[in-house]
Structure 1
Amino acid sequence: MTPRDAADADAGGGRWSDLDRPPLDATALRRALVRRDGLWSGVEVVQRTGSTNADLVAAASAGQAAEGAVLVAEEQTAGRGRLDRRWSAPPRSGLFFSVLLTPDEVPVSRWGWLPLLTGVAVATGLARAAGVDLALKWPNDLLVTVGDEERKAGGILAERAGEDSVVVGVGVNVTLRADELPVPQAGSLALAGAANTDRDPLLRAVLRSLEEWYGRWRAAGGDPGASGLQETYAAGCATLGRRVRAELPGDRSLVGEAVAVDGDGRLVIATEEGVQAPVGAGDIVHLRPA
């Protein structure tokens, strides 16, 4: 949306007239992020779409997007999270974007680290720019503390786009108010007491952090240990040290203490039977506070 489009929309009232939620400045974002020697090749901001992930996967599959393409939506009407969960939020209330990555120097077996890497990058970038602490719930939920309660403020979804690319989508609630929460367990940066909720600098900080972590990981051939990713993820992971229930495919479940994230990015759960079981897919429920 151009500044003129935004002004016209605000003048017309309606769903785009919330002056507490100004539009993103696509021109300024491109000027700040797109560099000849950098990762980001383009930044597009659209007012409304179903899913930035779906749009960018389609563009990449059609050969219409290059590595480093960033697609941002002011509003998503069919946003998706893990396990096909819906993600909805009012217009301009958060950061809803997807990026296209082509990690051809990294073995495909290590691509599973990309959503975890993105979680580290988003948490790090927002901690600096918003002045609020975020934690990671394995594998890729972003948690904030509202009062004394741990709440989900964001999530990450990675999807293959052809044989050689991955689209990683991020959704973060920024200014969502208490009366706008889709479920009581949801949160936002504002509700967590963020010092800054201006989405332009927040998005720049997140994308710069993601560029830094992706470059470090790619330079290490995707090795999570050598790149420092595994250690950093573990340090910020609120799941470790907790008693959890893993709800697994096939209506199975596993209960125990989350003790580690292994070299493949799997959550290792120590059961009461003395078995350490790695979990690579499933839904994790925290059973006790940290």
Structure 2
Amino acid sequence: MTPRNAHFSPWSDLDRPPLNAAALRRALIQPEGLWTSFELLPAIGSTNTELVRRAASLPGEGAVLVAEEQTAGRGRLDRVWSAPPRSGIFLSVLLRPPAEIPVERWGWLPLLAGVAAASGLSRSAGIDMSLKWPNDLLVTVDGEERKVGGILAERAGDGAIVIGIGINVTLRADELPVPTAASLALANAVSTDRDTLLRAILRSLEHWYGQWRATDGDPRLSQLQEAYAAGCATLGRTVRAELPGGRSLTGEAVALDGDGRLVLALPDGERHPIGAGDIVHLRPAG
């Protein structure tokens, strides 16, 4: 099938210049560094789907796959994620955590990616960002919290995981998929240079993954649990967790436990942890 942007020239939208693959490759692939390959595609259905497909044939970890456009981008629970060509960052990376890290601690990796993306973008774009548990990145536009990006983690065979990060960078108001979405441009970012933003995200991800790996995935020793809690807009709020089968739980989000689950304080005083895989939606109560 011909990609939607088969006619799309790199110079047809000068407000959205193409990424500089050669410069990004030189900046990111370093001796002894995490990133081992960098590939930029003009268009792909989903970078996550493609990297999961390739994982078995790729040695080690550190492969980076980026697209200028995703025609079938996915969020959690296969929700659709779409944006115009070159208007965002569409990124997936392949990781193979060391065997000594218990698989139970892998649940922290999408949260780690959220911390890395939020901290990297806060510095490079010059805006405040926060995290909505478990996988959303938030900015403030006109005094309202809106989603600017998301994280999707998928197993890629034994010992491998692919983490996808999608960020709306230059979407205009009339291009937003839903009214609750946003872009860095709409949040008045000081920079929307995607080369700069992509480097910042990947360097931050390398830093946090290195700390997590060096502490055998311990969320406390790696400071990941503390960092996520500090940037999590969900904590301290009363929320309704919609569960499979039409069930729901309402309570105050009071903590993240050692497994990365959100702990709700229910009206009867019980504290109930919920995992990312246990929920369909997490919404403000009322």
TM-score, normalised by the number of residues in structure 2: 0.94
Match of residue 141 from structure 2: 146
Deviation at residue 137 of structure 1 after TM alignment: 0.2
Q: Distance in 1 between matches of 2:165 and 2:62?
A: 15
> Contact 1:75–1:89 (CA<8 Å) still a contact in 2?
yes
With 14-23 and 229-238 compared, the bigger mean Cα shift is at 14-23
Deviation at 1:250, TM superposition (A): 2.2
Please list every run of at least 4 consecutive aligned residues from structure 1 whose deviation after the TM superposition is greater than 2 angstroms.
12-16
Q: In structure 1, the residue corresponding to 2:260 is in which secondary structure?
A: coil
Aligned-residue offset at 1:285: 0.6
| TM-score (ref. length: structure 1) | 0.93
Distance of aligned partners of 1:285 and 1:65 in 2 relative to their CA distance in 1, 3 Å threshold = farther
Q: For residues 134-186 of structure 1, what are the alpha-carbon distances to aligned partners after superposition, in whole Å with 9 as ceiling and x for unaligned?
A: 10000110000001111000000000001100000000000010010110000
What pairs up with 1:40-59 in 2 under 5 angstroms? 40-59=35-54
The answer to whether residue 223 in structure 2 is matched with residue 245 in structure 1 is: no
Deviations 1:162-215, CA, capped at 9 Å, x for gaps: 110000000000001001011000001110110000000100010000000000
- Aligned pairs for 1:112-191 (under 5 A) are 112-191=107-186
Q: Offset at 1:287? A: 3.1
CA displacement at 1:16 relative to structure 2? 5.8
Q: 1:94 aligns with which of 83, 88, 97?
A: 88
Output the CA distance in 2 between the equivalents of 1:114 and 1:13: 35
By how many angstroms is 1:36 displaced?
Answer: 1.6
Q: Take 2:23 and 2:285, find their aligned partners in 1: how far apart are those partners? A: 44
Equivalent residue for 2:23?
28
- Matched position secondary structure for 1:201: helix
Using the alignment, how far apart are the partners of 1:81 and 1:251 within structure 2? 21
SS at match of 1:125: helix
Q: Against the structure 1 CA distance between its residues 230 and 165, is the aligned structure 2 distance closer, same or farther, given a 3 Å change threshold? A: same
Mapped partners of 1:15, 1:34: distance in 2: 25
1:212 aligns to 2:224 (yes or no): no
CA distance in 2, matches of 1:141, 1:240: 14
1:272 aligns with 2:270: no
Shift of 1:15: 8.2
- Give the C-alpha shift of residue 14 in structure 1: 6.0
Q: CA–CA distance in 2 between the matches of 1:102 and 1:89?
A: 29
| TM-aligned CA distance change 1:37 to 1:21, over 3 Å | same
1:67 equivalent in alignment to 2:61: yes
Aligned residues, how many? 277
SS in structure 2 opposite 1:217? helix
Letter in 2 for 1:271: L
Name structure 1 gaps, 5 residues minimum: 1-8
Amino acid at match of 1:274: G
2:230 partner amino acid: A
1:221 positional shift: 0.4
Identity of aligned residues (%): 68
RMSD: 1.4
Separation in 2, partners of 1:13, 1:50: 16
Q: 1:32 to 1:186 in 2, by over 3 A?
A: same
Residue 285 of structure 1 corresponds to 283
Equivalent position SS for 2:151:
strand
Q: Is residue 76 of structure 1 aligned with residue 74 of structure 2?
A: no
Q: Give the distance between the partners of 1:182 and 1:14, measured in 2 at CA.
A: 23
Amino acid at match of 2:282: I
Deviations 1:63-121 (CA, angstroms, capped at 9, x unpaired): 13541000000000110001110000000000001000000241101000000000000
- Matched to 2:272, the amino acid is A
For 2:77 and 2:269, the matched residues in 1 are separated by 29
The residue type equivalent to 1:285 in the other structure is R
Take 1:42 and 1:84, find their aligned partners in 2: how far apart are those partners?
27
What is the alpha-carbon distance in structure 1 between the residues aligned to residue 201 and residue 166 of structure 2? 12
